[in-house]
Amino acid sequence: MNHSWGIQTNIFETNIINLAINFIFIVIFFVGNTVKSLLSKRQKSIFKNLQQSKRRAIKVQQNLLDVQTKIEKISDEVSEIQRQSDESIKQQKKQYQNQISTDLQKLEESQKSTIDFQRRQIRKQISQEVVDSTLRKVDQKLKDNFNEAIKKAVSFWSVEKFKKF
Q: Is 121 in contact with 105 (CB distance < 8 Å)?
A: no
Q: Identify the pLDDT of residue 3.
A: 53
Q: Is 34 in contact with 26 (CB distance < 8 Å)?
A: no
pTM over 0.85: no
Q: Identify the pLDDT of residue 10.
A: 63
Cα-trace Rg, the chain:
63
Q: Identify the pLDDT of residue 5.
A: 60
pLDDT by 10s per residue, the chain, length 165: 445 566 656 655 656 777 777 788 887 777 777 778 888 899 999 999 999 999 999 999 999 999 999 999 999 999 999 999 999 999 999 999 999 999 999 999 999 999 999 999 998 898 888 888 888 887 777 676 666 666 677 777 777 777 765
Q: Identify the pLDDT of residue 151.
A: 64
Q: Identify the pLDDT of residue 81.
A: 95
How many angstroms separate the CA atoms of 74 and 76, rounded? 5
